[in-house]
Amino acid sequence: MTIHQPICSRCGNPYSNGRAAHVNTIGIGEVLRTRRMKRGLSLRVTAELAGLSPAFLSMVENGRRRLNRHRDLMALADVLNIDPRQLTE
């Protein structure tokens, strides 16, 4: 007998304790990725220029982590040449 674990229909992550294993599926991450790709920057280069780890930036772009520090938000906005308000609207 196979036990099926329910998954989130938006992100595909398994539910744990009634919640999907994601924090923020759409929003800042989507804007960051779109802007980064338009500028032709790799995830690694963008992360390094902003003083972040590539793994952390990847999680932000994929909605699995939040940008909790103002400094990180400002650094990414600067690297991507974007008004920080566009990331928080």
User: What is the pLDDT at residue 67?
Assistant: 86
Per-residue buried b or exposed e for 15-36, using 16+ beta carbons within 10 Å of the residue's own CB: eeeeebebebeeebbebbbebb
User: What is the pLDDT at residue 23?
Assistant: 43
- Under the banding of pLDDT at 50, 70 and 90, the label for residue 89 is low
Q: Which residue is associated with the tokens 């338009």?
A: 38
Instruction: Give residue limits of the domains in the chain.
Output: 24-88
pLDDT higher than threshold 80 for residue 14? no
CATH 1.10.260.40 describes domain 24-88: yes
pTM comes to: 0.69
